[in-house]
Amino acid sequence: MGKNHKNLLNNLEELRRSAGLTQKDLSERAGVSRKSINAIENGVYVPSTVLALKISKILKCKVEDIFLLPN
Amino acid sequence: MTHMKRSLLVFTSGATQIFFALYVLLKIANINIIQLPSEAMFIPGIIIFLASGYLTASYYFGDKKNNSALYDEYTAIRYYKLGAIGYAINGIGIFLIFSTQDYANWSLQTANTMIYQIASFAWLIFGVLLVCFSIGDFKEARNG
- Most A CBs within 10 A among B71, B74, B142, hence the mutation to make, goes to B74
pLDDT tens, position by position, B113-133: 999 999 999 999 999 999 999
The reported pTM is 0.81
Q: Looking at residues A1-6, what average pLDDT do you find? A: 68
- In the three-class reduction of DSSP (H, G, I as helix; E, B as strand; rest coil), residue A8 is classed as strand
Round to whole Å and give the CA distance between A19 and A59.
7
Contact list in B for residue A45 (CB cut-off 8 A) is: 74, 77
Residue B115: exposed, middle, or buried by beta-carbon count in 10 A (0-12, 13-18, 19+)? exposed
Confidence grade of residue A1 (pLDDT, cut at 50, 70, 90): low
pLDDT digits 0-9 by tens, B29-80: 888 888 888 888 889 889 999 999 999 999 999 888 888 888 888 888 888 9
Q: pLDDT tens for residues A14-66?
A: 999 999 999 989 998 998 988 889 989 988 889 999 999 999 999 999 999 89
Do residue A27 and residue B143 have CB atoms under 8 angstroms apart?
A: no
Task: Give the pLDDT of residue B124.
Answer: 93
> What are the structural domain ranges in chain A?
9-64
d(CA B135, CA B7): 7
DSSP lists the bridge partners of residue A10 as: A67
User: Quick one: pLDDT at residue B137?
Assistant: 86
A18 to A13, A22, A59, A61: CA distances (angstroms): 9, 10, 9, 12
Mutation for testing the A interface, residue in B64, B72, B135 having most A CBs under 10 Å:
B72
pLDDT value at residue B72: 86
Q: Do A33 and B70 touch (CB under 8 A)?
A: yes
Planar angle of CA A35, A41, A46, nearest 5 degrees: 85
The whole-number average pLDDT for the span B12-25 is 92
CATH number of A9-64: 1.10.260.40
- 3-class secondary-structure state, position B117: helix
Chain A residue with Cα closest to B77:
A45
